Amino acid sequence: MLIAAFPAGPWGTNCYVAATGPGTECVVIDPGMDATRGVVDLVREHRLKPVAVLVTHGHIDHMWSVAPVAGTYDATAWIHPRDRHLLSDPMQGMSPETARMLLGGDHSFAEPDDVKELADGQVIDLAGLKFAVDHTPGHTEGSVTFRTPYGEAAGQPDISEVMFSGDLLFAGSIGRTDLPGGDHPTILRSLRDKVLPLADDVVVLPGHGEQTSIGRERATNPYLQDLHD
């Protein structure tokens, strides 16, 4: 299995490309601002063909390049229906500070030609990979995570799954809840119901910062520790 990543744009949003291996179809996850060139470079380096763009949530730093990436490769964009409106109007999900930063720029957004909606508990087959979808609201109303089996297929049997956590869970922290659509009790409920039951060996690939694991976060993340009390 091949997973490649790079931080994109001023927010350093992690954009991921996942495939069964070089020379195959692939999935692009969270192409944010200035991510288009990075996607092109990874696709060329590994001889890949993007067939889908997965969006963990509709914030602008995660969806800025969804339409151009999906359009370039004739790929389908996948997003939860509660965040779909942000594809064409991301200003609805921004903080006042971010909105002021972007005001005056020539920025226009539109849905990709092919958009499909995600559902909690859904398993989607894309590029030879299976992605389990968990609806994890709290950071936004339509936040989701994607989990895919890893282990034997990648030659690392000590890792059962990889989870693309978006802005739900970070190394040592969790997503902010002070933006439109955010709610702190809701994100804690998502963490309790969708994260704590996972195995310790699940690798977490977050929207920002370094990778971690469920076991590490269960033991050290103060937000998860509080949920045990």
CATH code: domain of residue 124: 3.60.15.10
For the ranges 94-108, 133-147, 200-214, which has the lowest average pLDDT?
A: 94-108
The predicted pLDDT at position 158 comes to 72
Tens of pLDDT, residues 152-207: 655 566 778 999 999 999 999 999 999 989 999 999 999 999 999 999 999 999 99
229: burial class by Cβ within 10 Å (0-12, 13-18, 19+)?
Answer: exposed
Give me the domain span that covers residue 198: 2-228
Residues 47-84: tens digit of each pLDDT:
999 999 999 999 999 999 999 999 999 999 999 999 99
Total domains in the chain come to: 1
HSE-up (13 A, CA, CB side) for residue 113: 8
Name the residue with higher pLDDT: 96 or 43. Answer: 43
How would residue 107 be classed by pLDDT, with cut points 50, 70 and 90? low
Q: Are 39 and 33 in contact (CB under 8 A)?
A: no
Going from the C-alpha of 139 to that of each of 2, 49, 104, the distances in angstroms are 28, 31, 27
Whole-model pTM: value is 0.92
Determine the Cα–Cα distance for residues 44 and 75; give it in Å rounded to an integer.
Answer: 16
Task: Please report which confidence band the pLDDT of residue 148 belongs to, taking 50, 70 and 90 as the band edges.
Answer: very high
